[in-house]
């Protein structure tokens, strides 16, 4: 080997060597303020917990327990700088308390909660050609999803029921298999109710068969109302470990068919009768044209499947008329209305407060527009700020919208139900999402440093010849007035970047705000590389100097990657 070659290899090894992680200067200064002669004793640490970490209820015993659990070799006198820094980066000091259990009031009607909702829950990939399976349903339930959507169709011989995305090349899965998997896994992550929304394209004899399947599968787990329609939704607490069915009653389905048969319905009304998605595929695939026409010609009778009608706990349907009729609030009964993301955005421009009023008693489900063939998603805040409980997402998709969805439902112990803020429930003063409110809270954020990429990524993942150049984006997902992203400078050639940068965010509706964090590696010639993300509800963000574990693009937590940050709230 030549001398010149040896120097190149030596340089390569040297540049990828990991430097020791050191506390950034602000953390050293904080340690000095709460220590004496290089030692932070229990009294010092207790004062730090109360004054900096805002843990006002922490006792001296709590401080002692944290100190003992943190240090490998606990100095009998207290923390030194090294062990104090270790505590700050430890799991017990996370910005979000993952051990916190359900703490919202769970005795209000279902309409008072945001509910973790899936769209086409049976699809393994894209909306056009992926497999249908019970596997993504199981995965969703294990992540805390509480609303599972199943599109049910006759099989090829018309004697059984399949789950598939109609009018596409998706391969079917048997309905019974899906139902059995839901029963087995429904309450793995949460004991609060699971709602199964059925997009029904069945003949009456198959509806009766579905009713028997559902009753036989779930038995006493199935919640069925004592009356034909509910005057008010029950609470999540009274529905623990229960399964509910939501779909259009057969009578409403018959009316939609009669409307189409009369020739008076517009194409828009046809779309609504099919749930807003199916006809878009009809026009794209002649192969499935006959199937749609055959379904339209079936003879539906509204009184021939009473067992099917009686199992429906949450009645769905738009009814006749336009938006004003859809949003009518009936004082004697409650129901579910479904709107596509496009329909909601259009309705919000003219009927924003009316939508909020509707969702105080009734349930609004929002679903992705039909052209999202890649299973991408949309901004969930549009639905949430109008009180929509079921903002339905493609859980197999990736991207920032899904990160926000995952962040929202980390709240309330990850049980899949998050109590809506009072502004969306108040009957006396209906929230207007279009009106910009005055600032209610200022969130102050400091991004100190990050670590862990050296262990969780290959050493050439970001750059083949040098350590990465990381920068952090930090901002807010919320109502339009609060939504913003800012970024730090890029730190060149460093596996353990220290930014030490401060940011402030003025929040008008902090109750609906989530903190968004992303780390990227700057690349001059190509697209910046992804280095991790986190999304946390502001309502459950812990103040003080905190560790923020980062997640990959699917929302899975990295083993080692985390940021050290400081959070503080000032209420106006």
Q: Which residues are catalytic?
A: 119, 165
The DSSP secondary-structure symbol of 372 reads -
Handedness of CA 324, 327, 330, 335 (dihedral sign): positive
- What's the helix, strand, coil split of the chain in %, to 5? 35, 25, 45
In contact, 539 and 384? CB cutoff 8 Å: no
* Residue 203: C-alpha distances to residues 3, 152, 349 (Å): 81, 11, 38
* Residue 218: C-alpha distances to residues 182, 184, 364 (Å): 9, 10, 26
Q: Terminus-to-terminus CA distance in the chain, angstroms?
A: 68
Q: How many residues can be counted in the chain?
A: 572
Tokens representing 165 are: 């995305």
In contact, 535 and 516? CB cutoff 8 Å: yes
Tokens representing 231 are: 């005057």
Handedness of CA 105, 111, 113, 115 (dihedral sign): positive
The DSSP secondary-structure symbol of 468 reads -
Which runs of E-coded beta strand occur in 421-466? 441-451
Alpha helices in 278-385, H assignment, sequence order: 278-282, 289-296, 306-310, 323-326, 341-361, 380-384
Tokens representing 537 are: 């509800």
Q: Is 418 exposed, middle or buried (0-12, 13-18, 19+ CB in 10 A)?
A: buried
Distance between CA atoms of residues 332 and 486, nearest Å:
48
The two beta strands, 441-451 and 498-507, are antiparallel
Q: Label residues 246-255 b or e (16+ Cβ within 10 Å = b).
A: bbbbbebbbb
Give Cβ neighbours of residue 68 (< 8 Å, ≥ 6 apart): 74
């Amino acid at each position: 080997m030549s001398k010149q070659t040896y120097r190149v290899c030596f340089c390569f090894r040297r540049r990828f060597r990991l430097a020791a992680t050191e506390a950034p200067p602000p953390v050293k200064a904080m340690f000095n303020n709460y220590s004496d002669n290089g030692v932070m004793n229990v009294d010092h640490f207790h004062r730090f917990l109360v004054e900096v970490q805002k843990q006002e209820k922490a006792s001296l015993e709590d401080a002692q327990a944290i100190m003992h659990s943190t240090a490998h070799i606990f100095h009998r006198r207290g923390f030194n700088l090294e062990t104090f820094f270790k505590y700050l980066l430890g799991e017990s000091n996370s910005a979000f308390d993952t051990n916190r259990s359900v703490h919202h009031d769970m005795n209000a009607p279902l309409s008072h909660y945001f509910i973790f909702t899936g769209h086409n829950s049976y699809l393994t990939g894209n909306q056009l050609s992926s497999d249908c399976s019970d596997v993504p349903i199981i995965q969703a339930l294990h992540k805390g999803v509480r609303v599972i959507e199943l599109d049910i169709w006759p099989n090829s011989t018309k004697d059984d029921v399949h789950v598939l995305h109609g009018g596409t090349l998706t391969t079917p899965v048997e309905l019974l298999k899906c139902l059995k998997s839901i029963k087995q896994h429904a309450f793995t992550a949460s004991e609060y109710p699971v709602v199964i929304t059925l997009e029904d394209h069945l003949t009456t004899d198959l509806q009766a068969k579905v009713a028997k399947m559902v009753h036989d599968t779930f038995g006493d787990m199935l919640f069925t109302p004592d009356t034909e329609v509910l005057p008010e939704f029950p609470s999540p607490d009274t529905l623990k470990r229960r399964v509910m069915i939501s779909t259009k009653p057969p009578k409403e389905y018959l009316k939609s068919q009669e409307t189409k048969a009369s020739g008076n319905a517009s194409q828009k009304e046809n779309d609504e009768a099919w749930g807003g998605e199916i006809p878009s595929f009809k026009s794209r695939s002649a192969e499935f044209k006959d199937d749609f026409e055959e379904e339209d010609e079936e003879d539906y009778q509204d009184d021939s499947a009473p067992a099917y009608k009686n199992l429906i706990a949450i009645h769905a349907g738009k009814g006749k008329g336009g938006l004003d009729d859809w949003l009518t609030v009936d004082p004697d009964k409650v129901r579910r209305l479904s709107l596509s993301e496009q329909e909601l955005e259009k309705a919000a421009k003219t009927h924003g407060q009316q939508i909020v009023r509707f969702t105080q008693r009734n349930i609004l489900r929002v679903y992705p527009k039909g052209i999202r063939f890649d299973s991408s998603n949309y901004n969930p805040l549009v639905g949430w700020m109008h009180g929509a409980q079921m903002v339905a997402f493609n859980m197999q998709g990736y991207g920032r919208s899904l990160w926000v969805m995952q962040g929202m439902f980390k709240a309330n112990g990850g049980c899949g139900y998050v109590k809506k803020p009072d502004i969306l429930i108040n009957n006396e003063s209906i929230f207007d999402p279009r009106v910009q409110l005055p600032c209610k809270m200022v969130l102050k954020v400091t991004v100190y440093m990050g670590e862990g990429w050296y262990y969780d990524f290959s050493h050439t993942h970001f750059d083949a010849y040098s350590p990465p150049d990381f920068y952090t984006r930090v901002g807010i997902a919320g109502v339009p007035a609060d939504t913003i992203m800012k970024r730090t400078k890029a730190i060149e050639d460093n596996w353990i970047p220290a930014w030490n940068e401060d940011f402030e965010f003025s929040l008008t509706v902090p109750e609906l705000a989530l903190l968004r964090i992303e780390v990227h590696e700057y690349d001059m010639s190509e697209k910046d590389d992804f280095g991790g993300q986190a999304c946390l509800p502001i309502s459950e963000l812990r103040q003080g100097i905190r560790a923020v574990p980062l997640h990959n693009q699917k929302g899975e937590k990295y083993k080692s990657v985390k940021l050290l940050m400081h959070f503080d709230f000032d209420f106006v």
